[in-house]
Amino acid sequence: MHSVATAITRLAALAESPHISRLATAFHSAGYELALVGGPVRDAFLGRELHDLDFTTDALPDQILAIVAPLASAHWDIGRAFGTIGAVIDGHTVEITTYRTDAYDGETRKPEVEFGTSLEDDLVRRDFTVNAMALRLPEQKLVDPSGGMDDLLAGRLSTPSAPEVSFGDDPLRMMRAARFTSQLGFTVTDEVKEAMAALAERLSIISLERVSDELTKLMATDAPRPGIELLVDTGLAEQVIPEIPALRLQVDEHAHHKDVYEHSLTVLDQAIELEKQRATPGASPDVVLRLAALLHDIGKPATKRTEGGGVVTFHHHDVVGAKLAAKRLRALRFDKETISQVSKLIELHLRFFGYTEGAWTDSAVRRYVRDAGDLLERLHILTRADVTTRNRRKAARLARAYDDLEARIRVLSEQEELAAVRPDLDGEQIMALLGIRPGREVGEAYRFLLELRLDEGPLGEEEATRRLKAWHAARSEA
Q: CB of 442 within 8 A of CB of 430?
A: yes
Q: Assign residue 308 the CATH number of its domain.
A: 1.10.3210
pLDDT at 254: 42
**Statement to judge: residues 148 and 165 lie in one domain:** no
Distance CA 298, CA 54 (A): 40
Residue 250 inside a domain? The answer is no
Distance CA 289, CA 270 (A): 11
**Statement to judge: residues 278 and 406 lie in one domain:** yes
Residue 12 inside a domain? The answer is yes
Mean pLDDT for the stretch of residues 354-362: 70
Question: How many CB atoms within 10 Å of residue 177?
Answer: 29
What's the chain's average pLDDT? 89
pLDDT band at 440 (very low <50, low <70, confident <90, very high): confident
Mean pLDDT for the stretch of residues 71-81: 89
**Statement to judge: residues 71 and 101 lie in one domain:** yes
The closest of 145, 171, 177, 142 to 158, measured between CA atoms, is: 177
The vertex-81 CA angle with 76 and 82, nearest 5°, equals 95
Residue 165 inside a domain? The answer is yes
Mean pLDDT for the stretch of residues 382-397: 90
Question: Is a pLDDT exceeding 80 seen at residue 348?
Answer: yes
Question: Is a pLDDT exceeding 50 seen at residue 355?
Answer: yes
Measured N-to-C along each axis, helices 190-199 and 172-184 cross at an angle, to the nearest 10 degrees, of 140
**Statement to judge: residues 298 and 379 lie in one domain:** yes
Question: Is a pLDDT exceeding 80 seen at residue 235?
Answer: yes
Question: Is a pLDDT exceeding 90 seen at residue 172?
Answer: yes
Mean pLDDT for the stretch of residues 244-251: 79
Q: Assign residue 181 the CATH number of its domain.
A: 1.10.110.30
Residue 136 inside a domain? The answer is yes
pLDDT at 52: 74
Taking phi first (over 0 means left), then psi (-120 to 50 degrees means alpha), and beta for anything else, what does residue 93 get? beta
**Statement to judge: residues 315 and 432 lie in one domain:** no
Query: Domain ends where: 154, 178, 195?
Result: 154
Q: What's the pTM value of the predicted model, to 2 decimals?
A: 0.82
pLDDT band at 170 (very low <50, low <70, confident <90, very high): very high
pLDDT over 70 percentage in the chain: 92
- Residue range(s) defining the domain that contains residue 323: 257-420
Question: How many CB atoms within 10 Å of residue 337?
Answer: 9
**Statement to judge: residues 41 and 111 lie in one domain:** yes
pLDDT at 253: 43
pLDDT over 90 percentage in the chain: 57
What are the distances in angstroms from CA 43 to CA 57, 82, 99, 121?
A: 21, 25, 21, 22
Residue 93 inside a domain? The answer is yes
Query: Domain ends where: 240, 270, 289?
Result: 240
Mean pLDDT for the stretch of residues 272-299: 95
Question: Is a pLDDT exceeding 80 seen at residue 285?
Answer: yes
pLDDT at 123: 95
Distance CA 5, CA 3 (A): 5
pLDDT band at 252 (very low <50, low <70, confident <90, very high): very low
The closest of 427, 306, 419 to 370, measured between CA atoms, is: 419
Residues in Cβ contact with 273 at an 8 Å cutoff, skipping those fewer than 6 apart: none
**Statement to judge: residues 390 and 323 lie in one domain:** yes
- Indicate the helix (H) or strand (E) that contains 293: helix 287-295
Query: Domain ends where: 154, 173, 201?
Result: 154
Omega of the bond leading into 138 within 30 degrees of 0 (cis): yes
What are the distances in angstroms from CA 103 to CA 108, 165, 273, 474?
A: 11, 12, 43, 77
Q: Residue 85 has what DSSP assignment?
A: E
The stretches of 155-207 forming alpha helices (DSSP H) are 163-169, 172-184, 190-199
**Statement to judge: residues 214 and 70 lie in one domain:** no
pLDDT band at 376 (very low <50, low <70, confident <90, very high): very high
pLDDT at 395: 87
Question: Is a pLDDT exceeding 90 seen at residue 197?
Answer: yes
Structural domains of the chain, count:
4
Distance CA 420, CA 373 (A): 9
Mean pLDDT for the stretch of residues 188-210: 96
Distance CA 43, CA 228 (A): 23
**Statement to judge: residues 401 and 299 lie in one domain:** yes
Residue 20 inside a domain? The answer is yes
pLDDT in tens, 29-62: 999 999 999 888 998 888 887 777 899 999 999 9
Mean pLDDT for the stretch of residues 75-97: 90
Distance CA 2, CA 12 (A): 14
**Statement to judge: residues 44 and 61 lie in one domain:** yes
DSSP 331-396: HTT--HHHHHHHHHHHHHTTGGGGGGGSPPPHHHHHHHHHHHGGGHHHHHHHHHHT---S-HHHHH
Question: How many CB atoms within 10 Å of residue 395?
Answer: 13
**Statement to judge: residues 145 and 194 lie in one domain:** no
Residue type, 188: V
Question: Is a pLDDT exceeding 90 seen at residue 473?
Answer: no
Q: CB of 114 within 8 A of CB of 100?
A: yes
Q: CB of 415 within 8 A of CB of 369?
A: no
Question: Is a pLDDT exceeding 50 seen at residue 359?
Answer: yes
Q: Assign residue 23 the CATH number of its domain.
A: 3.30.460.10
**Statement to judge: residues 264 and 411 lie in one domain:** yes
DSSP 278-291: HSPTTPPP-HHHHH
Residue 251 inside a domain? The answer is no
pLDDT in tens, 257-269: 458 999 999 999 9
Q: CB of 163 within 8 A of CB of 191?
A: yes
Distance CA 190, CA 158 (A): 9
Residue 245 inside a domain? The answer is no
